[in-house]
Every structure is written in structure tokens, then in C-alpha cells.
Structure 1
Amino acid sequence: MIVELGPHRYDVTTRALVMGILNRTPDSFYDAGRYWSFDDFLAKAAQLVAEGADVLDVGGVKAGPGPDVTETEEMDRVVPAVEALRRRFDVPVSVDTWRASVARESYAAGAVVGNDISGFADPDYLWVAAEAGASVVACHVRLAPRVADPEPVYDDLVGEVRRFLSERAHWAVAAGIPPERVLLDAGHDLGKTPPMSTELLRRADELCDLGFPVFLSVSNKGFLGTLTGAEVGDRREATLAAHALGVGLGCRVLRAHDVAGTRRVADFMSAVLQQRREYR
């Protein structure tokens, strides 16, 4: 399987890419604005690259409920950040946004991935990405970003997520985005209870068989806390275990706060999967 991110082309048959998370928000659930100042943001980016990040993902609005962030505010947060990262580091940059306008300006600044947790709700999103030659992440969400959904109901959780993501992936291809530039994200904790997110992780292989690279975004999320009883700052081991399980089931991009640990997990799993191929 091949993943393309801008000019970079990766064979992920037995390899998982590590995407380092960079929040340009004062209220993110994990770092709570720890890297809000631009100098701290850039220092964090340098750390993630040194630790082995294959990709950097910049977000200007947190996924959960919170104060409104206008389009202009989001652009002011992420576009200069993208520009600064592209000047400093030779790694692909992703923009975590559901607004086509923000994605367009970010692509012009050098981003090559649009990570959209809305499932392409903005009708211009895919056309903007196709025009820029960007890759996209199709994410399942039941309602919409920033909308609380505490009691979601599904008749067939995995089946419904599969159908949604298959549809969105084919929308992307129809818009002119090659399959190698379309990634699928189950959207853990987005309109899912902790048991639902756990089930989607356990059955990740059923998304992988859709034929597109699968993107795993579970780092330090709430369902891991429910499983382990760990508070948000103490979920490192659970996250790394989830990453190993995900790679074993076929996930090939790991979005992570702890890049150093995730890099080691990804490399170990790559060695295991490569040896399995050679043994056969």
C-alpha cells in the first residue's frame, strides 16, 4: 500500500507513519495551550521532528465544544504556523481543519494534507484539495465538530462507519484526488461512547479492508481513560498499546502527542510485519 503526502511517497505495506500533533489552540484537551506562544510552538515542532515525526499536523480549533473560533481567527492561528514549519523542516505538513477556506490558505502556505474531522461537510473541501494536489483525511463523525453528542445510537456501529468512510473516500476520488492521497479515520470519541470507540479500535481491520490507508487518531483520548482509569495526562502506555494494536490490524498513520514513543512502537511493529512477510 502506498501513501502520498505532497511530493513524498511512502510504501506502508509494513510501515506506519507517525504524525506529530501541534495545537495552535489555547484550550486543547491534552496540552491546554501549553504551546500557544509561537516560540513554544516552534520549539515543540523541532522536538517532534527530532523524535522522528514523519508528518506535522497543525490545528487551530479543538474538536470538542468550546468558544467560537471564527474563520479569520483560525487562519491567523494556522497559516503562519504552516509557513514557519515549511521554512524550517523537510517534513509534510497537515492542517487540521474542516473549513475549505482555511485549507486553501494553508495549502498556499505549504501544507499538503487536509485533516477534516467533519467528513467533508464543506462542499468545497475536496475540490480545494484536488486543485492543490493535497491529500485528505476522511473522518467519521455522527453530528458535527464541536457539537456535543453524549448519547449516540447506531444500529450497526462498524457497518455504519464503514459505509460512511467508503462513501467519503469515493467522493474524494471522484473529485480528482488519487486513492493514495485519501486516508480513513474512524473518528474515535467523535459521536461515540467509550465502548463504541473501543470496538472501532478492536475491529480496525474491517476499515483497512476498504482499500484505503487507515489513519489512527486515538492519542490520549477519553475512551483510553475509561478503559484504564487514567487521567488525560497519564494515558501514555494505553496510547502506545493502542498504536501497536492498530498497526497490527492494518492502520498506517498514527497521529500522536508522544512522537518518540510512537516512533519506537511503529518501528518495532514494522520489523515484526516485515519478518512475517519474509518468513512466509
Structure 2
Amino acid sequence: MSGAAGEAGARPGGVLRLRGRVFGPGRYAVMGVVNRTPDSFYDRGATFAFEAALRAADAAVRNGADIIDVGGVKAGYGDEVSVEEEVARTAPFVAELRARHPGVVISVDTWRARVGEECLRAGADLINDTWAGADPDLARVAAEGGAGLVCSHSGGLGPRTDPHRAHYADVAADVVTTVTALAERAVDLGVAPDRVLIDPTHDFGKNTYHSLELTRRLGELAGTGWPVLVAVSNKDFIGETLDAPVTDRLAGTLAVLAVSAWEGARVFRVHDVGAARAALDAVAAVAATAEEAAVGNGSAGPDV
């Protein structure tokens, strides 16, 4: 590990700082999704139009979003989207969003360095690289722009590809090794350690069993000290587990969010901000009660 990372980076209890806001352990940040794509798996293009996307972002902020995550390319298979088109879908929208909501953290979901650079110029604070450093210049862009970076795990897959017979000797260990290495590289390149997140990236390069296993063992990622982001909202592993179509996965999503929060996740990328905010507030209340009970028990005197 580099000196920078060793001094200020991966240590348990570390905080996440984005746009002057601090998200410490037990503080759950909700990241609302706004897809400026015509073919999103979830909304089927409902927020592709500029004004529709703005309305969705406004609603997400009203409902408690701390972060708005703007994407210009569908994660899975679909029509080719050029760099120029992705920039056109995202950067002007980021600029307008920044003007409307100066205090909200803005994230851009991209694997391309040029898109990240243009969106940072427009006012973004965070680059959400869901494809595990496929463009090695993206971390440098985050560093030079003073932005945060999400370091993810895709099981070696390239952008916009689906897993085929994915296999790991130990999926959680593979994720920890990959994302911590990417986080340390980001710090080496100049990204501030308290602006780096790690994401197990459920379903990317993984089957349903792997995604469930990662959820159960999320504490191992949180134990690295890097703040953990989870992006599980309405994903296929929830649908397959519950035999539920994409329109009927909210209950499963909220259950996985609650487990992830209890296991130490810090940021939660979701489609339904209001429901997620309520679920996470409930988890926080339970956690606070448990902590108070532990303190109370500890001050009651010696065991007899």
C-alpha cells in the first residue's frame, strides 16, 4: 500500500466526504438513480427526456436523496452509445442539476474518462465507475478534478457484458481483493482517501448465488475501512430469488438494503428514494437503540 493510502485511507471507522458533507459510520446516504437513457431495464426510458429527468431528480431530492446518480448508457446489452452521445446526455443535465440543487451531491455513472471529465466540469462530485477501471484514465480524471470515485468489481468483464457461467473460488474474497486494489490505486493517483468508495457490484459478473453471498458477507467489505456502496435496487438476483418481475421487486430490494445497512454499507443506490430512506431510517433507529442498550448494560456494574 502506498504511503498516502496507509496514512489516511483504508482503516475501519473512516468517513466519506463529498461536497462538504460527511457520511460517517451509521450515516446512510441514499443515492437516487436518474437514467438519461431510452432503454433502462427499470424505467424503460421514463427519464430519458431532459425535463422528465429533471422532475425525477427534483422528486428524489424532496424524498431524501443525498446523492443523484446520472447515467447516460444502459448497463447491459443495447444499442451502441458513442462517447459524444453519452456526454450530450449527461453533462448538460449535470450542469442544470447543479444550478437547481447546489447542495446535493451529484454522481455520474460512467466508465469513460472523457465523460467523467466533462461531467466534473459541469458540476459533478463523484464518478461511479461500475466497470472496475475498464478505462484506466478514469481514476486520474477523478483525481485531477478533486472528485470522488466508486471502485467496483465486474469479475473481469468488459463494459455492457453479461456473466456466463461465472465461477469464483470465494466470491467475497475476490471482490475484496479487486476493489481494495482499485481503491489504493486511486489514492496513489491522487484521489482523496475519504472520497473513495468500494462497490461489490451485485449481478455484474456474478450469478444470483454470488450476489446473495455478497450480501450475507458484506461486513467483510465494510471491515476493510473503505465506505461501501451497494447498488441492488430491483436487480435480477432479487427477481430470481423471489420469482418477481422487475415491477414487483420493491419488497426484496428493501430487505436487501436493510441487511446491507446492518452489515455496514454506507451508500445505497436506489430507484425508489422515499421507500429506501424510510427503510434505512428504521435500520438506523434499531442500530441506535442497540448501541444505547449496550452502553447501558456496560454502565450497570459488574456481572454477578
TM range (shorter): over 0.9
Within a 5 Å distance, the mapping from 1:60-209 to structure 2 comes to 60-89=72-101, 90-142=103-155, 143-209=157-223
| Equivalent pair of 1:6/1:135 in contact (CA under 8 Å) | no
- After TM superposition, give the deviation of residue 278 of structure 1 in Å: 2.7
Task: State the partner residue of 1:37.
Answer: 49
1:114 counterpart SS class:
strand
Matches within 5 A, 1:40-55: 40-55=52-67
TM-score, scaled to structure 1: 0.97
**Cα distance in 2 for residues equivalent to 1:123 and 1:138:** 12
- Structure 2 CA distance, aligned partners of 1:29 and 1:248? 28
Letter in 2 for 1:167: A
Matched, 1:2 2:6: no
Question: What do the CA deviations read for 1:106-165 (whole angstroms, capped 9, x no partner)?
Answer: 000000000001112212111110111100100100211212322112122111111101
CA distance in 2, matches of 1:132, 1:7: 15
Kindly provide the amino acid, as one letter, of the partner of residue 249 in structure 2.
R
2:276 to 242, 249, 262: 262
Calculate the aligned-residue CA RMSD, in Å.
1.0
1:274 Cα deviation from its structure 2 partner? 2.1
Aligned partner of residue 141 in structure 2, secondary structure: helix
Which residue number in structure 1 is paired with residue 260 of structure 2? Answer: 246
Q: Shift of the alpha carbon at 1:14?
A: 1.4
Give a deviation string over 1:224-266, Cα, whole Å, max 9, x none. Answer: 0011111001100100111000000000100000100000111
* Secondary structure at the counterpart of residue 188 of structure 1: coil
Whether the aligned pair in 2 keeps the contact of 1:15 and 1:266 (CA below 8 Å) is no
CA deviations on 1:158-206 (whole Å, 9 max, x unpaired) are: 1111110111111111111122111011011101011111111111111
Contact 1:6 1:113 in 2 (8 A): no
Structure 1 CA distance, aligned partners of 2:245 and 2:158? 26
Matched, 1:217 2:259: no
Between the aligned partners of 1:217 and 1:133, the Cα distance in structure 2 is 24
The equivalent residue for 2:241 is 227
Deviation at 1:8, TM superposition (A): 2.2
| Residues 6, 133 of structure 1: 8 Å contact kept | no
Q: In 1, distance between residues paired with 2:221 and 2:288?
A: 21
Q: Is the 1:216–1:253 contact (alpha carbons within 8 Å) kept by the matching residues of 2? A: yes
Question: What TM-score does the superposition give when structure 2 sets the normalisation length?
Answer: 0.90
Deviations 1:26-47 (A, max 9, x none): 0011001011111111111111
> Which has the higher mean CA deviation after the structures are superposed, 20-29 or 1-10?
1-10
Task: After TM superposition, give the deviation of residue 269 of structure 1 in Å.
Answer: 1.3
Q: CA deviation at 1:67?
A: 1.0
Offset at 1:7? Answer: 2.6
- CA shift, 1:62, in A, is 1.1
Runs of 4+ in 1 over 6 A off after TM superposition: none
Q: Provide the rounded CA distance (Å) in 2 between the counterparts of 1:170 and 1:277.
A: 32
Contact 1:18 1:53 in 2 (8 A): yes
Mapped pair 1:24 → 2:13: no
Return 5+ residue gaps in structure 2 as ranges.
1-13, 295-304
Structure number, greater radius of gyration: 2
Count how many residue pairs are aligned between Structure 1 and Structure 2. 279
